[in-house]
Amino acid sequence: MAIKERMSGNEAVAYAMKQINPDVMPAFPITPSTELPQFVSSYIADGEMDTEFIPVESEHSAMSAAIGAEAAGARTMTATSSAGLALMWEMLYVAASNRLPIALALVNRALSGPLNINCEHSDSMGARDSGWIQIYAEDNQEAYDNFIQAYRIAEHPDVMLPIMICQDGFIISHGVSNITLLEDEKVKAFVGEYCPKHYLLKADEAMAVGPYAVSCYGMEAKRAQAQAMINAKQVILDVASVYKTISGRSYGLFEAYRLEDADYAIVAIGSACGTTKDAIDALRVQGKKVGLLKVRVFRPFPGKELAEALKNCQAIAILDRCESFSANGGPLAAELSAALFQAKSQAEVLKIVYGLNGRDYTVTEAEQIFADLEEIAENGMGADAAEYRYIGLRE
């Protein structure tokens, strides 16, 4: 039977790590992901895991060690946040281009400056073009479920790419909620053994990892890597379908909440989606046709699928929990706007930045966004209306 528990997001992901019991975990502590290596090292000390834990001197070293372990044929994981991910930057690209299916638990936190330890998506969104699969959680349950699915996605022979499992810092990582865990045996059977076809310590095969790519071959390597990301979209769906059979919980590239007949929609990532759902439920009682499109998978970006889900909306607000300094909104707004343009959408679009440095996002603010969308749909954007705007900002 499934196990009912109350856990923080960090506890839930660490429990998933214990159940998977990978071969190696190099890690360096950084708030708010520090608990993850702490929990794992405690599990190891108590004899509940036989993972080889490698304490390193920095996050750059953590990812370097992860690359070495994975290249040698070991199933490998690590965890970090914010500046820790930034210090890994060079090695993120190396891991992806070497097609190494490392799993990274990323607890989203603002990048400096100003110095701040609270939730923002600037760390993972900054790495969006590094070649890693990125999956985001709305709550603790999803953080647990996403990590269990991670290796089966990343290690698929049509993919072989590293994967980031992202959760909002403190809001999910340290917030405690009810959660349903799977039995250890089910998780182990679902994840399976890692049996790479090629690896450095394979006795009868000589190979190199990360060689210099001359111009005759480098572009082909990138195209193959890009194809793997394209392939990952269907693999993510296939893995989710199998996962539903053992958990009863259904996942896709995105979640549409009360979107079927919605005239106005908010598109968002992460914990803000729960707040938005509360606003939608309240407004639906008032007869307002409002809905949510929650983006679960950001890489590969499901642009066509998102545009199709939004095709009947008159006005859309795209929310970013980071600023890309394009003077035109955040990364989700940029990519989804392009997809809507390709789909010839006629919907009005607001590009909204919210929640920076852990600023609260409230039900009242979500309700105001829907009111703004209704006004824009009825009367147009207007010459003085700002398509790109902040909410929750102190005047």
pLDDT tens digits, one per residue of 172-208: 999 999 999 999 999 999 999 999 999 998 999 998 8
| Average pLDDT estimate for 136-142 | 98
pLDDT of 14 higher than 80: yes
Q: Tell me the pLDDT band of 382, cut-offs 50, 70 and 90.
A: confident
Owner of token pair 């979107």: 259
pLDDT at 174: 98
Q: Which residues contact 34 (CB under 8 A, 6 or more apart)?
A: none
SS3 26: strand
**Two tokens, residue 342:** 């390709």
Transcribe 247-277 into DSSP letters.
HS----SEEEES-TT-SEEEEE-TTHHHHHH
Asked if the model's pLDDT at residue 1 lies above 70, the reply is no
Question: What does pTM read for this prediction?
Answer: 0.97
> Taking residues 307-323, what's their average pLDDT?
98
Is the distance from CB of 312 to CB of 259 less than 8 angstroms? Answer: no
Query: DSSP per residue over 49-66, as a string?
Result: ---EEEE-SSHHHHHHHH
Q: What is the DSSP letter of 111?
A: P
pLDDT (tens digit per residue) in 70-82: 999 999 999 999 9
Mean pLDDT of the 7-34 span:
98
Nearest CA to 146 among 289, 291, 47, 9?
A: 9
If you average pLDDT over residues 253-257, what whole number do you get? Answer: 98
pLDDT of residue 180: 98
Mean pLDDT over each residue of the chain, to the nearest integer: 97
Please say if the pLDDT value at position 113 is more than 90: no
What is the predicted pLDDT for the residue at 210?
Answer: 87
Question: Which among 25, 21, 72, 75 is positioned nearest to 50, based on CA atoms?
Answer: 21
Domains of the chain with CATH codes: 3-247 (3.40.50.970), 254-390 (3.40.50.920)
- On the CB side of 129, CA atoms within 13 Å amount to 4
Phi, psi angle pair for 252, to nearest 5°: -140, -160
Q: Across-strand partners of 365?
A: none
Peptide bond before residue 22 is cis, with ω within 30 degrees of 0: no
Q: Examine the pLDDT at 381 and tell me if it is beyond 90.
A: no
What does the pLDDT read at residue 211?
A: 86
Angle (deg, nearest 10), helices 59-71 and 89-97? 10
